[in-house]
């Protein structure tokens, strides 16, 4: 079994991958976060010692996670911070053989803290271009509304997305806590974003029940569902998601860390797959949860009892569910097939 586990780890490490649900600030490595904390020492509660960050990132529940997450967001105070964070995230992704990623970015949080919108856009776009040129990774943006900040944040996010629309922007989202943050109130903002050609990818059904997913579908026109963990509790919803082939962006370790699922063996991903739903594997806020995308693939392979071919199909599912152009999808799908074929040939 140990050899099998090591073999899967090696296969996943070399597997070309796409990631669809991963947060910009939440992807900051301990090294990057510690550097920012040191820069603002005396003006933040975030520890500057990378070792101390592991303890800082131990969450008691979803509300505590949001509190800690926002303290890290507060470390991003100028355009230089934004650019360094973004390029650092790309470097970490390349080490995992991630070839394409849709990063969930919350520009409202940075603009509210005094970074001009134009400077913010210039910083992420400069990092995106540099990452593609230097590292070969393709990055795209999902601008999300931080639900806990209410309708003001929705207005600002819409204005930034549509008024200063960066070339890398492909989608519009809604994050933050679900409890006490009804989805329907954000419909006008999603309507305008969709009319402008952006895809709809709200979080739903993470810390609340299936009704939040229904709201995301009915009111926000969701094309993918961020998490959707509680969808399995509603047979009619399962049927709808399956019939319309709406992908779920599943983040197993995140769900355990924030206590929305108690034990990994109880994670509903098995029910999702058995129901024939489109499932993609993602890392959400990887350093905060002590994981990365490679580790999430290993976890899911174990939960579902997958061999290398099954894991490769999960990787293809993420590519097909992405908003990458068709030529980019075709290249990445070919790379996945090549990796699997080479693995089988040397087995």
Q: Which two tokens stand for residue 288?
A: 């905060």
pTM of the model: 0.94
pLDDT tens across the length of the chain (347 residues): 445 677 999 999 999 999 999 999 989 888 888 888 888 888 898 999 888 888 888 888 888 888 888 888 888 899 999 999 999 999 999 999 999 999 999 999 999 999 999 999 999 999 999 999 999 999 999 999 999 999 999 999 999 999 999 999 999 999 998 999 999 999 999 999 999 999 999 999 999 999 999 999 999 999 999 999 999 999 999 999 999 999 999 999 999 999 999 999 999 999 999 999 999 999 999 988 989 999 999 999 999 999 999 999 999 999 999 999 999 999 999 999 999 999 999 97
Q: Which domains does the chain have, with CATH numbers?
A: 2-346 (3.20.20.140)
Cα–Cα distance, 239 to 142 (Å, whole number): 27
Those residues with Cβ within 8 angstroms of residue 52's Cβ, 6 or more apart along the chain or in another chain? none
Here the tokens at position 324 are 């990458």
Which residues are identified as catalytic? Answer: 206
- For 35, 44, 231, 237, the CA distances from 212, given in Å and listed in that order, are 38, 34, 9, 11
Q: What are phi and psi of 53, to 5 degrees?
A: -65, -35
CB 249 within 8 A of CB 229: no
Cα(200)–Cα(267) distance, rounded to whole angstroms? 25
Distance CA 232, CA 250 (A): 13
Eight-class DSSP state of 248? E
Both tokens assigned to 255: 């769900």
CA dist., res. 294 & res. 244, Å (int): 29
């Amino acid at each position: 079994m140990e050899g099998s586990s090591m073999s899967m780890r090696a296969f996943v490490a070399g597997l070309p991958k796409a990631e669809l649900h991963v947060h910009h600030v939440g992807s900051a490595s301990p090294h990057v976060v510690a550097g920012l904390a040191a820069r603002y020492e005396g003006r933040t509660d975030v520890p500057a010692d990378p070792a101390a960050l592991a303890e800082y990132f131990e969450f008691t529940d979803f509300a505590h996670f949001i509190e800690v997450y926002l303290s890290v967001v507060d470390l991003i105070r100028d355009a230089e911070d934004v650019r360094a964070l973004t390029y650092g995230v790309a470097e970490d992704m390349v080490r995992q053989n991630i070839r394409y990623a849709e990063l969930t970015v919350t520009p409202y949080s940075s603009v509210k803290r005094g970074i001009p919108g134009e400077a913010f856009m210039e910083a992420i776009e400069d990092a995106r271009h540099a990452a593609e040129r230097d590292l070969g990774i393709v990055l795209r943006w999902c601008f999300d509304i931080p639900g806990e900040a209410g309708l003001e944040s929705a207005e600002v996010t819409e204005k930034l997305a549509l008024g200063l629309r960066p070339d890398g922007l492909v989608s519009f989202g809604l994050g933050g806590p679900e409890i006490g943050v009804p989805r329907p109130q954000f419909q006008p903002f999603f309507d305008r974003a969709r009319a402008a050609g952006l895809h709809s990818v709200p979080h739903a059904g993470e810390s609340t029940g299936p009704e939040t997913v229904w709201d995301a579908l009915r009111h926000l026109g969701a094309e993918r569902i961020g998490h959707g963990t509680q969808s399995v509790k509603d047979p009619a919803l399962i049927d709808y998601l399956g019939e319309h082939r709406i992908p779920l962006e599943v983040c197993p370790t995140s769900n355990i860390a924030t206590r929305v699922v108690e034990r990994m063996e109880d994670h509903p991903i098995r029910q999702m797959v058995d129901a024939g739903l489109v499932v993609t594997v993602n890392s959400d806020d990887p350093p905060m949860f002590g994981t990365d995308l490679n580790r999430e693939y290993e976890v899911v392979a174990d939960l579902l009892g997958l061999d290398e071919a099954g894991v490769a199909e999960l990787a293809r599912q993420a590519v097909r569910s992405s908003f990458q152009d068709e030529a980019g999808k075709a290249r990445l799908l070919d790379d996945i097939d090549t990796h699997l074929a080479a693995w089988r040939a040397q087995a």
